[in-house]
Amino acid sequence: AQTVTQSQPEMSVQEAETVTLSCTYDTSESDYYLFWYKQPPSRQMILVIRQEAYKQQNATENRFSVNFQKAAKSFSLKISDSQLGDAAMYFCGFTGGFKTIFGAGTRLFVKA
């Protein structure tokens, strides 16, 4: 069975600082995608960043980057230069085949 674990229910970061959100997963599949989605208070989940499992290079999208450790089945999200607008729930997602499952989420607070 596929599982996604986010061990940090809440995290807090000072504006302009860097924060790392953790995610681990378990799967027997060899071909899959990993995602981080953001859910702001407006409710809709939006994609932050995506990583293909076959790519060794860590994905980067502006201030967002991942540390993908395939052997360890770890997929952490680093947010640099945190902004007030980054405050949200962040869900780590795993897509194997055509089903995506999510971790329990990490609520990120950004302090001014």
Partner 1 sequence: EPEVTQTPSHQVTQMGQEVILRCVPISNHLYFYWYRQILGQKVEFLVSFYNNEISEKSEIFDDQFSVERPDGSNFTLKIRSTKLEDSAMYFCASILAGGTNTGELFFGEGSRLTVL
Give contact residues for partner 1 (rule: CB under 8 A): 32-33, 35, 37, 39, 42-47, 50, 52, 91, 93, 95, 98-105
- C-beta of 79 vs 92, nearer to partner 1: 92
Token look-up 């302090």 returns 111
Q: How far is the CB of 99 from partner 1 (least distance, A)?
A: 6
* Residue number, 73 or 101, with CB nearest to partner 1: 101
Q: Which residues contact 79 (CB under 8 A, 6 or more apart)?
A: 13, 18, 19, 20, 21, 63, 64, 86, 108
Shortest Cβ 16–partner 1 spacing (Å) = 28
Q: Of 19 and 37, which CB lies nearer to partner 1 in the complex structure?
A: 37
